[in-house]
Amino acid sequence: MENTRLEALLEIYIGNWFQTGKATPVEELCPQEPQLHQALEALIATFHKTDGTLSNPDAPDPHAIEPNPLPSNIWLPGNLIYIEEIGSGAFGRVVKARDPQLDRLVAVKLVKKLSTQQAGDIISEARFLAALSDPAFLSVYGVDVEKGAIITEYVDGFDLLEISDKLSLQQQARLMATLAKALSRAHGKGILHGDIKPGNIKLDRRLQPRLLDFGLAQHMGDQPHGWGTPLYAAPEQFEGGPVDPRTDLYSLGAVFYHMLCGKAPEPGPGGKPELPGILRPNLPHSLQAITLKCLALQPSDRYGSALDLEQDLLRWLDGRDVMAPNAIANNLAQKLSGHLKDIKAWRKAGLIYDHEERMLEDSYGQLSKPLDDWIPQSRFLSFHGIVLYLGVSVLFFGSVCLFHAHHFLEITSGWLYPTLMFGLSSAALSWLAIRLKNARSVSIAYDVAGILIMPLLFLTLFREWGWLTIRQDETRALFPSGIFTNAQLQVAAILVFIQSTRRAWFTQTFALGAVAIGSFCLLHFTLILNRAWVTHLMDGQYHLVGIDLIPLLCVLAIGGHLLEKRDREFLARPAYLAATFLLILILELLALNGKVLEVMGLSSSAPVGAPEAFDPIFFDTMVTLVFNGILLHILARILTRLPSPLLREQSIWLYRLTPFLILEPLALMISKEMYSPFYHWFYLLSSLGILWLSGYLQRKSFYYAGIGNTLMALYYITSHYQWLEHIFWPLTLITTGGLLLFMGNRLYERVSGH
Amino acid sequence: MQGRSQTTQLLNLARNGNETALNRLYQRIGHRLLMLIRLRLGPSLQGKVDPEDIAQEVLIKAFSHIGAFQKDTSKSFFAWLAIIAANTIRDLSHYHESGMRDMRRTVSTDNALSERKSPHRSALSQLIWDEQLQELERALASMPEHYRMVLIMRRLEERTFGEIASIMDSTEDSCRMLFNRAMAKLCVITGN
């Protein structure tokens, strides 16, 4: 009730207030109700406050800006109308003005105090601008030397840092490419900007960049006259060194760093800024590499010209590899160099063994390697990589099954079905590989799968269309039944080799490099088909096959060396790997029927065991196999001392294989039971010798080979002498085992000093 | 009229492209204009259009017809903007009621803003929202439609009771009484 009454009274008050403009006293409104006076007073106060808030928006503003349109200390040339000041600095100020005659906005740079020197600067800055007719530079409309003013176009847009964080990486990179291109034009005219920083870059409404302020610009070769802005200026600008286009590139790189990371590059330890990838975790490696290449402390480590920078940015935008080296690997390599020196020192001081030195160096070498797309060489094994290559393998296996079913089992017939399967999938995979080039690992897996299916497609087409049906005599054909002729195999291999090499060269990846080298070996195998190696293998003429493979070994070794020299590591490494295994294969093939010793005139003439059991060929084979093992071990040792890191890598395979290569022939020989019992003991001693060598050389491969062969030798000896029938023999072995354990214990105590 | 002359000066500077003046103008009227637009929009349009978007449009219209304001000295600058806003919203509700979809309206606010000058956006988003005004807006929003409209038309749009009577299809006297009653009601709500 009271509220309704109060509201009615307030209504009367409000009516009077608006009609007469006078406040009616509370006593007059309700003389009989003094208990309401206080509440009504409060409501009246609320009314005045509320009405004040609701209306009267034009109250004087205590913070109103200076209404005087032209400050007295500003003089504008001609009849320009002053609008506002848009910037100021040590040089003076920049104002925005309107040119009423042409009805356009202009920016006027006014120099504070005009000396003769500054008058000269004004003219030179205006001339620099006039010389550069590029959309990325301001157009100069006029200059007033006496008053110290340059009139330029006014860029209505944004400051770079105001919006750079809202731009995509692609937009940022394109912006940089535009600036780099503009800079390269300026450099081409012999002009250096000298003060590139975010504050001097504006974007117009179409987000096209403009490079402002040529106040510190100079002709190339002039004495440097300015310092630029700290954080964006190149080191040589501070040190008073000679400046050249690469000085501007440093500053542009610093601007790019700021755009990408949200802060200017601050020199950290060693003068290097924090890695952009740390400040912005998802930044692509390539963009980081480009930024860091610009920010190299030594001008010689930067891009050679602004054009190179532009091209590298465009390469990134096109999804291609950039020229700037992988920054992570570089940075790590730099950090690791100190450790590598330590390792050398430790070796000299005898703290570590040779092989440990090598092991440490290899491990550090692995760290400085990029995350490779080739699984065996990658520092990091990702699940997507595993699944992709599993997919490639299964797809290839399935295709081979289909191929086999079609051509050998003739489950399907005609050319259409397999051609569709192989042709469409191969073409689709290759197309996808090119389309998805930004997703590198996926693209490469697709490429590999596409290439692996290709020979099946070619062979199917050749056969179904009856091409290249030049028949060889049956001993020289891989398929005597005539399903495929050698010529068909050879042409298919050539085509696959060409395609895989082309893709490897284009993508520069190890995976495709390996496929290319593999297809090259395949090509060689098909080419030597005409020399009837299949028949040779059947007839046990292994050495002839081995000889046929020697040219391939030479080509791979020499090719690998040449490719490595030309920095084509993606082909050199698989070439070396193939050469290593081919070398082992050739040596073993040559050994298999003892031809090597025969050729060398060393064939065994004196029987060692019982004359009737002596097979000189077999004996020669065994001896050669042992020699091969030793030879390969020596070769491995030589490889580790070579300067080429790629060749050094191959030694590991040889080291792993040699102890087995040395011992296995003996085991084989003894198992034949054709020779003197002396061999049993020789085998046991050799095994123990290898085992002992493992401790001396610190090689696990020797250790495994030694233990395994020792047990094998004991088994042969036991069965040869039928010692299992006497309790003495097992007891001897057990006692020997116990003694060895005790000896091991003593050795341990000696080493640990008890 | 010191306030009005100051506003006129700011307007002239802003028209010539002086961004400081433009921002200052926004600071003076922006929040009030937004409140008015929100109250005016009504339930059928709320959520479909962005009040800031309309504020932009109102200001752009105001700048292009600034001569009319300078000739007519009877109203404050804000009242003049308020009437432009009322007209804009009326046009807008016609579009929506007739089911016609204006493509300009369907672009997202961000796109619409970025097409225009960026400082407008920053000035508006930087508004310090006056607590007192916010309270007033809540009170107005809770009132019956005819109470709210009469208050807006009289105090924000500075219309005469004659104009209001013709809009509301009523007599001048009853509008005056309605206004007094609405004002008293508003004070009771805000006072509590």
User: Are residues A60 and B2 in contact, defined by beta-carbon separation less than 8 angstroms?
Assistant: yes
Categorize the per-residue pLDDT at A280 as very low, low, confident or very high, splitting at 50, 70 and 90.
confident
The residue that leads in pLDDT, B173 or A596, is B173
Adjacent-strand bridge partners of A191: A219
Question: How far does B2 lie from chain A, in Å, by closest CA?
Answer: 6
Region for residue A270 given its phi and psi (left: phi exceeds 0; alpha: psi -120 to 50; beta: otherwise): left
Residue among A429, A276, A260 nearest A268 (CA): A276
pLDDT at A562: 93
pLDDT at B78: 81
Do the strands A149-153 and A140-144 form a parallel or antiparallel pair, or are they unpaired?
antiparallel
User: For B111, how many CA atoms within 13 A lie in the half-sphere containing its CB?
Assistant: 6
The CATH homologous superfamily of the domain defined by A156-325: Transferase(Phosphotransferase) domain 1 (1.10.510.10)
The residue that leads in pLDDT, A220 or A300, is A300
pLDDT at B95: 66
Pick the range with the lowest mean pLDDT from A38-47, A277-286, A688-697: A277-286
Checking if the pLDDT of A219 tops 90, the result is no
Residue A62: is it exposed, middle or buried by C-beta count within 10 angstroms (0-12/13-18/19+)? exposed
Chain A CA closest to residue B117: A157
Average pLDDT on A654-665 reads 81
Chain B stretch 23-82, residues whose beta carbon is closer than 8 A to a beta carbon of chain A = 24, 28-29, 32, 76-78
Q: List CB contacts (< 8 A) between A10 and chain B.
A: 184, 187-188
Domains of chain A, by residue range, sit at: 2-54, 70-154, 156-325, 331-370
pLDDT at A103: 73
Q: List CB contacts (< 8 A) between B16 and chain A.
A: 81, 83, 98
Pick the range with the lowest mean pLDDT from A54-58, A496-500, B139-143: A54-58
Question: How far does A197 lie from chain B, in Å, by closest CA?
Answer: 23
Pick the range with the lowest mean pLDDT from A105-109, A239-243, A601-605: A601-605
Residue among A187, A180, A173 nearest A136 (CA): A180
pLDDT at B169: 85
How many CB atoms are located within 10 Å of the residue A77 CB? 18
Contact assignment for A57 to B77 by CB distance below 8 Å: yes
Q: Using CA atoms, how far apart are residues B147 and B189, in angstroms rounded to an integer?
A: 13
Contact assignment for A50 to B187 by CB distance below 8 Å: yes
The residue that leads in pLDDT, A258 or B100, is A258
Using a CB–CB cutoff of 8 Å, tell me whether B189 touches chain A. no
Contact assignment for A84 to B17 by CB distance below 8 Å: yes
Q: Using CA atoms, how far apart are residues A181 and A307, in angstroms rounded to an integer?
A: 6
Highest mean pLDDT among A38-47, A174-183, A342-351 belongs to A174-183
Q: Using CA atoms, how far apart are residues B23 and A665, in angstroms rounded to an integer?
A: 93
Same fold across A70-154 and A156-325: no
Chain A stretch 142-171, residues whose beta carbon is closer than 8 A to a beta carbon of chain B = 158
Average pLDDT on A374-385 reads 63
User: Are residues A715 and A698 in contact, defined by beta-carbon separation less than 8 angstroms?
Assistant: no
Radius of gyration for chain A, computed over Cα atoms and rounded to the nearest angstrom: 42
Query: Which two three-digit tokens encode residue A529?
Result: 């088909």
Categorize the per-residue pLDDT at A180 as very low, low, confident or very high, splitting at 50, 70 and 90.
very high
Q: Is the pTM of this model over 0.80?
A: no
Average pLDDT, chain A: 81
Helix, strand, coil percent values for chain B (each to nearest 5): 80, 0, 20
Categorize the per-residue pLDDT at A255 as very low, low, confident or very high, splitting at 50, 70 and 90.
very high
Adjacent-strand bridge partners of A98: A81, A105
Q: Using CA atoms, how far apart are residues B62 and B117, in angstroms rounded to an integer?
A: 15
Checking if the pLDDT of A348 tops 60, the result is yes
Adjacent-strand bridge partners of A587: none
Pick the range with the lowest mean pLDDT from A189-203, A259-273, A451-465, A505-519: A259-273
pLDDT at A550: 94
Task: Note the pLDDT tens digit of each residue in B82-129.
Answer: 888 888 888 877 766 654 444 444 433 333 333 333 333 333 433 434
For A185, A192, A215, A430, the CA distances from A133, given in Å and listed in that order, are 9, 15, 17, 45
3-state secondary structure string across A331-344: HHHHHHHHHHHHHH
pLDDT at A603: 65
Q: List CB contacts (< 8 A) between B20 and chain A.
A: 65, 84
Contact assignment for B10 to A64 by CB distance below 8 Å: yes
pLDDT at A739: 93
The residue that leads in pLDDT, A255 or A704, is A255
Pick the range with the lowest mean pLDDT from A174-188, A357-371, A598-612, B57-71: A598-612
Q: What are phi and psi of A517, to 5 degrees?
A: -65, -40
Closest partner CB to A158 (pick from B118, B136, B191) = B118
pLDDT at A283: 82
Q: List CB contacts (< 8 A) between A56 and chain B.
A: 76
Query: Which two three-digit tokens encode residue B181?
Result: 């009653």
Q: Using CA atoms, how far apart are residues A491 and A468, in angstroms rounded to an integer?
A: 9
Question: How far does B100 lie from chain A, in Å, by closest CA?
Answer: 31
Checking if the pLDDT of B50 tops 50, the result is yes
Closest partner CB to B3 (pick from A60, A98, A105) = A60
Checking if the pLDDT of A139 tops 50, the result is yes
Using a CB–CB cutoff of 8 Å, tell me whether B123 touches chain A. no
pLDDT at A735: 92
Average pLDDT on A442-461 reads 90
Average pLDDT, chain B: 73
User: Are residues A293 and A283 in contact, defined by beta-carbon separation less than 8 angstroms?
Assistant: no
pLDDT at A610: 45
The residue that leads in pLDDT, A327 or A106, is A106
pLDDT at A62: 41
pLDDT at A586: 92
Residues in chain B: 192
Residue type for position B13: L
Checking if the pLDDT of A355 tops 70, the result is yes
Chain B CA closest to residue A39: B191
Question: How far does A96 lie from chain B, in Å, by closest CA?
Answer: 9
pLDDT at A606: 47
Residue type for position A52: G
Checking if the pLDDT of A729 tops 80, the result is yes
Closest partner CB to A50 (pick from B32, B77, B190) = B190
Residue A743: is it exposed, middle or buried by C-beta count within 10 angstroms (0-12/13-18/19+)? exposed
pLDDT at A605: 52
Highest mean pLDDT among A64-68, A262-266, A268-272, B20-24 belongs to A262-266
pLDDT at B54: 83
Residue among A60, A68, A66 nearest B1 (CA): A60
Contact assignment for A50 to B77 by CB distance below 8 Å: no
Chain A CA closest to residue B35: A54
Categorize the per-residue pLDDT at A554 as very low, low, confident or very high, splitting at 50, 70 and 90.
very high
Q: List CB contacts (< 8 A) between A58 and chain B.
A: 3-4, 6-7, 76-78
Residue among A537, A417, A517 nearest A476 (CA): A537
DSSP-assigned letter for residue A139: P
Q: List CB contacts (< 8 A) between A206 and chain B.
A: none
Contact assignment for B6 to A105 by CB distance below 8 Å: no
Q: Using CA atoms, how far apart are residues A688 and A683, in angstroms rounded to an integer?
A: 9
Checking if the pLDDT of A439 tops 80, the result is no
Chain mean position to CA A278: 16
Q: List CB contacts (< 8 A) between A49 and chain B.
A: 132
Which domains does chain B carry? 1-128 (1.10.1740.10), 130-192 (1.10.10.10)
If one looks up domain A70-154 in CATH, what number appears?
3.30.200.20
Average pLDDT on A210-227 reads 73
pLDDT at A536: 86
